[in-house]
Structure 1
């Protein structure tokens, strides 16, 4: 006896049901199609169908202890691996807890795809339990976002989300999925290739603009390259080095550009800006051509903007045309993929010979080294230099935000891209520990150090449980000075030492680490540092080292707010 059919192609209804998938299953299949191996998340009522589908999926799910931790871990994973990071949270507070992590990724152009659950279509817009307009909330801090109200759109949206996050200038994309979409069933076919007529990132540089830039560089007597995070994102570190060596241009980097040019290279100037090296700031102040590569001319890098490289022809290379002229007026813009632009310039330029400019740079480097005063007490600079020594400079470093972040940028020599993982644009305290988890997941065979402040560390300290749970052998070096150090430094220098609410009463970090199941250690004198670090490296589990450092150590050099780069304190 012939059974009932679906009325379309004649399949029996029993067969049709077998061919159908839930939205949750389509979601998981779509992730696997995108090559997703790891997802960081926290379950809840409106993603319960998705978590049921993940139960049988061949995807590594890392259960963090807070949604913000999931976002930062996915961010760290993306920065270290170059692949998009993925995080998942439920609706309402679960979704809003992702916001700081999404904004962090947005400011630093990190490819992140965040998925959130949402209330059902019948409850949407009614102030229902755990409802929040997360697409509206995140519109200013995402490259694009979606709300999926129909199961037929789900596969297409997931594919588009990954495409948008990873092409052009990378950035976060959020996808909000209604709970009844996750529960619905369909037998729809594959959604086909991505088709976004309104989204066409320019990757090929204009030949005439390349020619203009090459002519300006060829005429330059005092060239400087200013390299940012775009070099790292584009995988253009080799081309950057080849260009610098070809034209003998010293290279200054932004905070996000550290590692994009080898820090031990003779042409390396280190970081530019508020806490950059004196020789980097002097070089940019006196150059006649500034080649800005994958930078956005952020205020902490430029100092007083109307005096920034004021005598230079500025060439700005970037994939995002919106950055051209946004912060600093430039003379020659070159839009395109940084790797392709640099390759095009190398083809058009000839080898330069060393001269007075290179001699002047070397003279500055000898006169104004990055150093610190030793006085028998434990200094954060010593700790960071020792971390470099015991790891042979091969570790992946994450930081939080504050004095320790700047000390790390100054005193750890980064020679490889994607080894310095830090929140630059947003300046997010609490970033370092969960980011280290993401980095360790992405790079399981490498040493991962989180250099943390005592204030920042406590903002996401719960993620120690995640590291212990998944046996991730991250090492945390807390710079413990009992202050919110960078704010205290400003209060000392500009507010007559009026330390308004910046002194901390900290817990016992050793006992806290042990309570989470990690190993806790404490170091109070300079002669203990090297042995403690080596001991930590020999322990195959999470280790927290409380370095009790000099309380009022300041980060110098420092360009005061509103001053030009060549007017530095310290």
Structure 2
């Protein structure tokens, strides 16, 4: 067998360059590149390997991108994978110690959202000849543990390469997980700094072009028949579309299913855009941030079909939104763990093939006409609420719903809105009129503050790499911006244009409202000077517009809606990354969702506000469904 002598790090890079994926007969390279910040733990290993390939002149050499924050690099990689429907991903490398552990939050976000990213953190010496080395965690009871063990619970696959011979099996296992829609998430391969630089004679087969087939599992016939029988028995069915619909490219299959059956379709955060907002069967957002239309239909539903959703507490309104005591579920999901939730009929399959099979199995059947018509009418009524929210005249400072409306109307139907945390995701879920399957990108599995700008960078890179021209508009509050604005510098350096709408409301608006609802009186949620009584002085003189300009972005301030619209048009026409700074009034709420979210309130307190909130909390708890449901068999409902 022919061999090539390379270091471990060089072998890793060559292997990544050779990996491809295929689905539906379409092949593409899987790794779009490697993000990296170098330190003593990886500069002579992965850093040298990437430099060598960059100097090689090989057009297939793995692209290197320089980040400014390790967590942000992971966020950008995850956002890229989501925009590419998990058919492409990034590797991310960081040095040992704080560089590595800075990536843990990004790893958790990737795994929770079922999105692929390969993490290559440097590690301490495998030989231990110089221990303890700089940034090493010494455990007197365990000579093997390092800070990289913190990646174990947030990774779908974890390994530490202490000998070159271990690398091939670890790389193949990593690819198996990264390319499996049911298993994917963060994969972590810890690379001790001495092992990275160690040479070995590798079999050339390790670097041969390898194509990983991304399967579309079909539903088991017996379970499909059971699911179809249950749906045929329904009088008030509802379908809930999750992120799996988007990732599998099942939006057309969903449209065909909805039009053939008349079943209304609600959307989770990850599934928003599965149907255009104005489709007759589209009833909008569901759950704790849902629309009145979707939540009312959920409240009355007797059969619920979940497609590609993992049924988070926001989607189910903490198990209160599905109120029919006899409601039953059919879950179509590629992941068995999600298919079995809600004591459902578990249809384990790809979203597209599963929807096509369900459509065929239900041929000739439609939901009652009055139910379909009622859903369409409720959706139209909610759209009138959205229209009013877009036209709120207030300020300056402006109402956040009016800011959302201006951005929605000034962007194109295929442009992408990006958000992650604060009050904005809930308002976007209810109010954003999504017109394209990839037009809505809100990270709400982990709802990670600081994701937004890095995520927007990843989305824009993914669109550009795919030859899919779109403007990417990042909507970020001042709280998230202050946590991680660093990748504005990266966007400027890489000449990747994003538009950032920076909403300044001088505090944590979302948690402020939540704090008030649980009786904590917005304590600790405003950005104020300290006084003898607490943080309740005047507003801090923070100039985020000046900060953004100092990072290299073009900056425009908008005080009125007319200013904002003009700034958006200017930003879209520009070739540069632009930050639009606009102030909003956090005390002007968007239309309320009728649903609830379970956030426990102190059971005893000296505060009247807390005691009052506890009374309200206990009333809501009474409507919470127990997670254990009696099993449903095929004969329980008759078609």
User: What's the TM-score once normalised by structure 2's chain length?
Assistant: 0.80
Name the SS for the 1:225 alignment partner. strand
Q: Does 1:556 align with 2:628?
A: no
Taking the aligned partners of 2:98 and 2:315, their CA distance within structure 1 comes to 35
Picking from 481, 499, 507, the partner of 1:475 is: 499
Q: Which residue in 1 is equivalent to 2:57?
A: none
Shift of 1:304: 4.3
Structure 2 equivalent of residue 117 of structure 1:
122
> Which deviations, in whole Å up to 9, do the C-alpha atoms of 1:114-141 show, x marking residues without a partner?
1111122122995532235355212211
**Alignment check: 8 A CA contact 1:285 1:565 kept:** no
Q: 1:166: which partner in 2? A: 179
Distance in 2 between residues matched to 1:348 and 1:124, nearest whole Å: 66
Q: 1:489 to 1:77 in 2, by over 3 A?
A: same
SS of alignment partner, residue 34 of structure 2: strand
CA contact (8 A) 1:398 1:436 kept: yes
The equivalent position to 2:241 in structure 1, one of 215, 221, 227, is 227
> How much does 1:292 deviate?
0.7
User: What's the CA shift for 1:102?
Assistant: 0.7
Whether the 8 Å CA contact 1:299–1:305 is kept in 2: the answer is yes
Change (3 A) 1:157 1:457: same
Contact 2:307 2:331 in 1 (8 A): yes
Deviation, structure 1 residue 548: 0.9
**Structure 1 match to 2:7:** 22
- Aligned residue number for residue 187 of structure 1: 201
Deviation at 1:566, TM superposition (A): 10
Q: Partner of 1:215: helix, strand, or coil?
A: helix
Mapping of residues 269-280 of structure 1, within 5 Å? 269-280=283-294
Q: Give the conservation status (yes or no) of the 8 Å contact 1:124–1:131.
A: no
Aligned to 2:152: 139
The DSSP-based 3-state class of the residue aligned with 1:20 is strand
Distance 1:556 1:204 in 2: 41
Deviation, structure 1 residue 493: 3.2
* Distance in 1, Cα, partners of 2:581 & 2:34: 31
Q: What is the CA distance between 1:190 and its match in structure 2?
A: 4.2
Deviation sequence 1:242-277 (CA, Å, 0-9, x none): 111111111011111112222221111111011110
State yes or no: 1:347 paired with 2:360.
Answer: yes
Which is worse superposed, 138-147 or 96-105? 138-147
Q: Which shows bigger deviation, 77-86 or 125-134?
A: 125-134
After superposition, give the CA deviation of every residue in 1:331-368 in whole Å (9 maximum; x if it has no partner): x1111222221121122121445611022223323444
Residue matched to 2:480: 456
Alpha-carbon distance between aligned partners in 2 of 1:56 and 1:394, rounded to the nearest angstrom: 39
Greater CA drift, 71-80 or 113-122: 113-122
Question: Corresponding residue for 2:447?
Answer: 427
- Residue 302 of structure 1: CA displacement? 0.9
The answer to whether the 8 Å contact 1:253/1:270 transfers is: yes
Query: Partner residue of 1:495?
Result: 519
**2:41–2:124: 8 Å Cα contact kept in structure 1?**
yes
Matches within 5 A, 1:383-398: 383-398=403-418
Counterpart-to-counterpart distance in 1, 2:450 and 2:354: 36
Deviation at 1:453, TM superposition (A): 0.7
- Return the alpha-carbon distance in structure 1 between the equivalents of residues 482 and 507 of structure 2: 13
Residue aligning to 1:357: 371
Q: Aligned-pair distance for 1:556?
A: 3.2
Q: Which residue of 2 aligns with 1:337?
A: 350
Give the Cα–Cα distance (whole angstroms) in 1 for the partners of residues 327 and 232 of structure 2: 14
Deviation at 1:203, TM superposition (A): 2.9
Aligned residues: 545
Q: Does 1:436 align with 2:456?
A: yes
Partner of 1:534: 569
Q: Which residue of 2 aligns with 1:152?
A: 165
1: CA distance, partners of 2:522 / 2:380: 36
What's the offset of the Cα at 1:293?
A: 0.9
**Deviation of 1:145 (Å):** 1.0
Inter-partner Cα distance in structure 1 for 2:175 and 2:622: 39
Question: Does 1:415 pair with 2:435?
Answer: yes
SS in 1 for 2:372: helix
Change (3 A) 1:236 1:190: farther
* Aligned position for 1:244: 258
Once the 2 structures are TM-superposed, how far is the Cα of residue 376 of structure 1 from its aligned partner?
3.3
C-alpha separation in 2, matches of 1:352 and 1:564: 37
- Determine if contact 2:283/2:378 at 8 Å carries over to the other structure: no
Which deviates the most, 311-320 or 127-136? 127-136
SS in 1 for 2:91: strand
Cross-structure match for 2:25: none
Q: Is the contact made by 1:483 and 1:502 (CA closer than 8 Å) also made in structure 2?
A: yes
- Mapped to 2, the partners of 1:237 and 1:565 lie a distance apart of 37
Q: Are the aligned partners of 2:307 and 2:333 in contact in 1 as well (CA < 8 Å)?
A: yes
Change (3 A) 1:306 1:255: closer
- Structure 1 residues 108 and 460: CA distance shift in structure 2, 3 A: same
Matched, 1:544 2:579: yes
Separation in structure 2 between the aligned mates of residue 498 and residue 116 of structure 1, nearest angstrom: 39
Q: Is the 8 A contact 1:422 1:431 kept in 2?
A: no
How far apart are residue 42 of structure 1 and its match?
0.9
Q: Any idea what the Cα deviations from partners look like across 1:221-252, whole Å, max 9, x if unmatched?
A: 22110111122222222212211111111101
RMSD: 2.6
Distance 1:193 1:44 in 2: 27
Closer/same/farther in 2, CA of residues 296 and 232 from structure 1, 3 Å limit: same
Structure 2 residues not aligned, in runs of 5+ = 20-28, 54-60, 138-145, 209-213, 529-539, 599-619, 625-639
Quote the residue 2:601 is aligned against.
none
Deviations 1:35-63 (A, max 9, x none): 32322221111211211110132222111
546 and 289 in structure 1: CA distance in 2 versus 1, 3 angstrom threshold: same
Change (3 A) 1:283 1:532: same
Q: What TM-score do you get using the length of structure 1 for normalisation? A: 0.90
Conservation of the 8 A alpha-carbon contact between 2:313 and 2:597: no
Equivalent residue of 1:450, what SS? strand
Alignment of 1:53 with 2:56, yes or no, is no
Q: What do the CA deviations read for 1:38-96 (whole angstroms, capped 9, x no partner)?
A: 22221111211211110132222111101011110101111111212321111111110
Q: In structure 2, do the counterparts of structure 1 residues 124 and 380 end up closer, same or farther at CA, with 3 Å as the change threshold? A: farther
1:319 maps to which residue? 334
Residue by residue over 1:386-409, the C-alpha shift from the partner in whole angstroms, topping out at 9 and shown as x without a partner, is: 222222222122113011122222
Distance of aligned partners of 1:486 and 1:209 in 2 relative to their CA distance in 1, 3 Å threshold: same
* Cα separation, 2, equivalents of 1:566 and 1:362: 27
Please say if residues 454 and 506 of structure 1, whose CA atoms lie closer than 8 Å, have aligned partners that are also in contact: no
Distance 2:168 2:520 in 1: 59
Deviation, structure 1 residue 153: 2.5
Q: Deviations over 1:1-36 (max 9, x none)?
A: xxxxxxxx9x9xxxx8xx411112111101101232
- 1:527: Cα distance to partner? 2.2
Deviations 1:432-477 (A, max 9, x none): 0011111121112321111101110111112111111111111100
